[in-house]
Amino acid sequence: MFRPKLPDTPHVPSITTHIPQDHAPAPSAGRSVAPFGGVGAGAVAAVVVVGVVLTALLAAVAVSAVSVAIAAAVLRSLVTGANRR
């Protein structure tokens, strides 16, 4: 009653190739891995893009912090110099 009913997965036809007689065939789990090949590449590309974006944001924050620190040092030296006169 409380178990979810999962939809039936469609059967994906496997790709058959010619195997030479002198080699033993590799054991198969019955499912083809070919449809999932693009998923791994897409995930890697997404991780790379997110990494590049986060690195660019971190670099922008660092540059902004350095420029604010330089502006604060310059303003402090101008105010200190005006008080000495």
> In this structure, what token pair is assigned to residue 71?
């502006």
What is the tens place of the pLDDT at every residue in 41-85? 778 888 999 999 999 999 999 999 999 999 999 999 998 876 665
The tens digit of pLDDT for each residue in 29-42 reads 565 555 555 567 77
* Position 30, amino acid: G
Instruction: Provide the greatest CA pair distance for the chain.
Output: 98
pTM of the entire structure? Answer: 0.47
Burial 1-38 (b: 16+ CB within 10 A, else e): eeeeeeeeeeeeeeeeeeeeeeeeeeeeeeeeeeeeee
